[in-house]
């Protein structure tokens, strides 16, 4: 019972952090109509802090709120039109990345070495999201492959820095021994 309350509290906290980060303004890059955002830092953290089912519920709630038009997307935007826009090509992968991290944590445990933690975070929430978004952008919005993939490189440096910050936060939480890891 105590673990369920703990997981529910963490899920509510992660949803609140994800929604709160929506108010940080996106930075337009001009090459493609997809801005640089800070909100995906919460997406990177979520996989390590929640079991995969709770991650799915939080992200599902987030996308439902966004589809209903609540201002939960970067820059305080919302609506189905944003989810179906080029930004939505990347947002779609926000569900997959943290689910992979949660799954990893559940079946293999929290990596013992910090570089392993960073590698799993980087591959599942930076490379997968950026590459997946580029593929969807190219297939659905008919952006040429080369343009789509090369424009995603713009996100790589910033997202890598966010993955390092997320990893540092997880390492700090791990050291406190306050949480029981999923």
Longest dimension (CA), the chain: 52
Distances (CA, A) of 75 to 3, 55, 89, 113, 165: 34, 23, 17, 35, 21
Q: Which domains does the chain have, with CATH numbers?
A: 2-176 (1.10.1760.20)
Distances (CA, A) of 103 to 24, 47, 54, 175: 29, 8, 11, 22
pLDDT digit string, tens, across residues 9-57: 999 999 999 999 998 888 887 776 778 889 999 999 999 999 999 999 9
Are 5 and 49 in contact by the 8 Å Cβ rule? The answer is: no
In this predicted structure, what is the pLDDT of residue 181?
A: 59
Distances (CA, A) of 60 to 53, 89, 95, 119, 142: 10, 16, 8, 26, 27
With residue 153 as reference, give the H or E element that holds it.
helix 145-176
| Total-model pTM | 0.88
């Amino acid at each position: 019972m105590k673990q369920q309350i703990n997981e529910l509290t963490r899920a509510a906290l992660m949803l609140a952090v994800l929604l709160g980060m929506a108010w940080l303004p996106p930075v337009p890059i001009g090459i493609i109509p997809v801005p640089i955002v800070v909100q995906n830092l919460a997406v990177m953290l979520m996989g390590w802090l929640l079991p995969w089912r709770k991650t799915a519920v939080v992200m599902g709630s987030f996308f439902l709120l966004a589809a209903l038009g609540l201002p939960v997307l970067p820059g305080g935007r919302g609506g189905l039109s944003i989810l179906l826009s080029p930004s939505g090509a990347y947002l779609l992968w926000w569900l997959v990345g943290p689910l992979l991290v949660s799954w990893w944590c559940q079946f293999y445990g929290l990596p013992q070495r910090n570089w392993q933690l960073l590698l799993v975070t980087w591959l599942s929430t930076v490379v997968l999201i950026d590459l997946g978004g580029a593929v969807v952008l190219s297939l659905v919005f008919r952006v040429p492959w080369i343009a789509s993939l090369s424009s995603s490189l713009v996100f790589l440096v910033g997202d890598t820095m966010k993955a390092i910050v997320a990893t540092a936060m997880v390492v700090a939480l791990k050291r406190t021994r306050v949480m029981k890891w999923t």
